[in-house]
Amino acid sequence: MSVLNSIITSKTRIRILMGLFLNPQRSAYLRELSEEFALSPSIVKGELQSMKENGLLTSEKAGNQILYRANQKHPLFPELNSMVQKALGMDRILDSIIDRLGDLEQAYLLDDYAEGRDTGIIDLLLVGRIDSSNLTDLVTKTERYIGRKIRTLCLTQDEYGGMSAQLGKRPKLLLWERR
């Protein structure tokens, strides 16, 4: 699990994974990705370089630009490709969660989805001071949108710390954390 936690450390990295691992034949330039994600090229470049150093992406020079593509020979490629396909739409869900839930500090996928298994039930752990009325509305709308059941566990930072031993026994994948 620690390998996956080190892979998905930012929303930008999730977007790159979604963009390049969903369709592994796709290749993209830095500028193309930064425009697609509406992010500065320097932010995208840092993530691309980090992912290339970890072997997740390959690159080739095309004129005076660099073309990036998912590395299909990486040992985690099949799992990441599967996770991205199953999580299609998770980036939009994360944006909604972050914008609407109050003081969110961390968001985790738990159990089956954290292991890349699509069981139809997405378990989310949300850490922070969460607005429960917005959460209920968001979950209802998101379930209709993605066709899966969402179960949430909301904890304050203190509660999360107190339950770390129990939560440490469950598969857990960090989706987002405040920086």
Domains of the chain: 2-84 (1.10.10.10), 87-177 (3.30.460.10)
Q: What is the chain's alpha carbon radius of gyration, rounded to the nearest angstrom?
A: 17
**pLDDT, greater one: 25 or 129:** 129
* Predicted TM-score (pTM) of this structure: 0.53
| 143-175: pLDDT as tens digits | 887 778 899 999 999 999 999 999 999 988 887
- Rounded percentage of the chain residues whose pLDDT exceeds 90: 36
The pLDDT assigned to 95 comes to 66
Return the axis-axis angle of helices 90-100 and 11-21, rounded to nearest 10°.
Answer: 160
- Helix, strand and coil in the chain, % to nearest 5: 50, 25, 25
Place 53 in a pLDDT band, splitting at 50, 70 and 90: very high
Distance CA 143, CA 141 (A): 6
Burial 80-105 (b: 16+ CB within 10 A, else e): bbebbebbeebbebbeebeeebeebb
* Six-digit token string for 173: 């994948």
| 95-111: pLDDT as tens digits | 667 777 888 999 888 98
pLDDT at 83 over 80: no
